[in-house]
Structure 1
Amino acid sequence: MVQFSTLLYVSLITSVAAQFSVLITDKEVVGNVGDDLVIGCNFTKTGSFRSNFHIHWYYLKKDNKSTVHAYYGGADRLEDQDVAYQDRTQLFHSEFPNGNASLKLYKLETSDSGVYQCIVTNGQEQAHDNGSLKIHEVKTNEFSGGGVPLWLIIGIIAVILIIIFSIIIAFNMKTGGFYLYQRWRIFKIKRRISNYHGKSITIKVIGMKKHGGPSLVNSCYYVKFDLPLSDWAGAEADSYVKKPLTLELNLTDFIKIEKEEPMDDVQEDGTFWSSRKSYYIDKWRESNDLVFIFVIRNDYTTNDQTETEIQALFEDVKNLTGTFPLPVVTMKSLGTPKHMKSILENLGFHPVFNIDNYTQQNPQRNPRKDLTFLELLEACIEKEMKLKDSNENKHVS
């Protein structure tokens, strides 16, 4: 009878014990470095929780194990937690009644790879299960989601850059130069002109009739202010007689540009300057801070006497102001390319600006043309500043 009672008791205990189990839901979990991940674990619900309800998660090593997370006494117990898991673990307390003992790991590290063990104790019942975790490093030659090879990424970027570069080249060929560089230079020179606050400068444009002097004044004003093109300086034939022989336009409070009364056409003896030199010199001597621009059209035919006259004009202007005029060849598209530019350079004058003015017949803006006119104005400012420095050095010495 005693033996039968003992056997019955043992059988009941074995039956209850067999009812309690722990199961890690996925025996092998895979994650990526830096991600968050849950290792699922369920245990058998056998009624209410006992006072000694425990959950322990361990990381199994070859000879021992380290505590990943522990819960007992109604609270997390992290006193013995391995420092490698500090602030990176969580259990879901509200899910315990549902038999959920899952562990959440934050910010996965490569060292997290290995075997994990979940032990659940409820009163006299206890069970455990093991599962493994594998951590993948996100390689530099792959996206974390798609595994795109590095060579493919580089190839796509290279194709995009080639397309962009081709578009830029095509656009530059159409506009006649490096567009972005030109736009940067245009902005920079305009700002320099607007910010000039030195000694007042009068840019005086001189030359013979029908050589483009008034059109040059119009073009500089047109480019500086981005206004609709107008015949401010009387360049057109019908307005030429209506405008004053001299006319000035203010580019800033400190810089103005002025067309001078045109010189006579070349005489039979080849002179155009000597016959009226005294008239102009006396007139210019009354003004201060003059910077001269001399205009001559590209298709103009010169001879030895004419070139001598040009040299004499430049020398006389230098004697008056301390610096040569800036030579500008207008209507560059007429006649032999760079014909007059070469003559002026052979006479020793540098730099020579070679341009086509904006006119009522040809008002279409072009960044390269804009830049030429602005560089001409910038050269005038630089001439005045160099002359000022030279004069100050003379006074010091």
Structure 2
Amino acid sequence: MYSMGILTAFGISFQKKTNLLYVLNGCINILAIATMSASQLVAAPGSDITLGCSFPHRDTDNIQNLIVNWQRGTTEVVHSYYHGKDQLDRQSLAYTGRTQLNPDELKKGNASLSLVGVQASDHGEYTCAVSNEQGSFRGNIFLKVAACCVNSTTVPDPWIRWNLLLQLALQVLSVL
């Protein structure tokens, strides 16, 4: 397959690859479609996490031309950046005051999003979409929020507690 560029998202490298090849009147036209699978991240409620996303860039790229959009699902805006600054007027109320991009890192091709105070409602698929002078790039990550069991009347069996911790640790290791 013909490689069109590389997008590193969430610590995993993905290549934009040609998926379709059309032959028309002796001319070969190549349609590039980004092919990538979603990564997975597990977080505990109340924790702070970083959803990683990096993109191809050059030191000469003008950050004023950079567009970064983080979404949850297909319509919920988590964080937007364009015209050289955060643009949060369309941000979902659920994320108000809980997200942050690092402008110095954006200059280096890093559009990782910090999410503070993870909530059960944050569970779902997130998309990082970046457009710059090098092109447009997209990556996905699925955030699982670990369930907590609280029982105020009895103390849980220690075996159950350790078993749940082991399961969570195995899920985290499987992502790495």
TM-score, normalized by length of structure 1? 0.30
1:309-328 equivalent positions in 2, closer than 5 A: none
* Aligned counterpart, 1:370: none
Pick from 125, 136, 142: which aligns with 1:132? 142
Normalized per residue, the structure richer in strand is 2
Distance 1:19 1:151, change over 3 A: closer
**Alignment partners' CA distance in 2, 1:138 and 1:86:** 24
Secondary structure of the structure 2 residue equivalent to 1:43: coil
Is 2:24 aligned against 1:24? no
- The answer (yes or no) to whether the contact 1:119–1:128 under 8 Å persists in 2 is yes
Which residue type is aligned with residue 111 of structure 1?
Answer: S
Sequence identity percentage: 33
* Aligned counterpart, 2:111: 101
Distance 1:139 1:127, change over 3 A: same
Secondary structure of the structure 1 residue equivalent to 2:81: strand
Secondary structure of the structure 2 residue equivalent to 1:56: strand
Which residue type is aligned with residue 23 of structure 1?
Answer: A
Higher relative CO (Cα under 8 Å, sequence separation at least 6) belongs to 2
Deviations 1:332-372 (A, max 9, x none): xxxxxxxxxxxxxxxxxxxxxxxxxxxxxxxxxxxxxxxxx
1:241-390 equivalent positions in 2, closer than 5 A: none
Deviations 1:3-35 (A, max 9, x none): xxxxxxxxxxx98xx235352326111001111
* Aligned counterpart, 1:37: 49
Normalized per residue, the structure richer in helix is 1
Distance 1:22 1:120, change over 3 A: farther
- The answer (yes or no) to whether the contact 2:55–2:109 under 8 Å persists in 1 is yes
Secondary structure of the structure 1 residue equivalent to 2:126: strand
Question: Which runs of 4 or more aligned residues in structure 1 lie more than 4 Å from their structure 2 counterparts after TM superposition?
Answer: none
Q: CA deviation at 1:124?
A: 5.8
**Alignment partners' CA distance in 2, 1:117 and 1:91:** 14
Pick from 50, 67, 72: which aligns with 1:59? 72
Deviations 1:103-148 (A, max 9, x none): 111111111011000011113611111110000132226xxxxxxx
Alignment RMSD: 2.3
Which residue type is aligned with residue 138 of structure 1?
Answer: C
Distance 1:96 1:119, change over 3 A: same
- The answer (yes or no) to whether the contact 2:57–2:134 under 8 Å persists in 1 is no
**Alignment partners' CA distance in 2, 1:20 and 1:81:** 28
Unaligned stretches of 5+ in structure 2?
A: 13-38, 160-176
Unaligned stretches of 5+ in structure 1?
A: 1-13, 142-148, 154-397
TM-score, normalized by length of structure 2? 0.65
1:70-219 equivalent positions in 2, closer than 5 A: 70-123=80-133, 125-140=135-150, 150-152=156-158
- The answer (yes or no) to whether the contact 2:56–2:134 under 8 Å persists in 1 is no
- The answer (yes or no) to whether the contact 1:66–1:82 under 8 Å persists in 2 is yes
- The answer (yes or no) to whether the contact 1:20–1:125 under 8 Å persists in 2 is no
**Alignment partners' CA distance in 1, 2:157 and 2:135:** 57
Deviations 1:140-182 (A, max 9, x none): 26xxxxxxx71349xxxxxxxxxxxxxxxxxxxxxxxxxxxxx
* Aligned counterpart, 2:18: none
Q: How many residue pairs align between the two structures? A: 128
Deviations 1:183-235 (A, max 9, x none): xxxxxxxxxxxxxxxxxxxxxxxxxxxxxxxxxxxxxxxxxxxxxxxxxxxxx
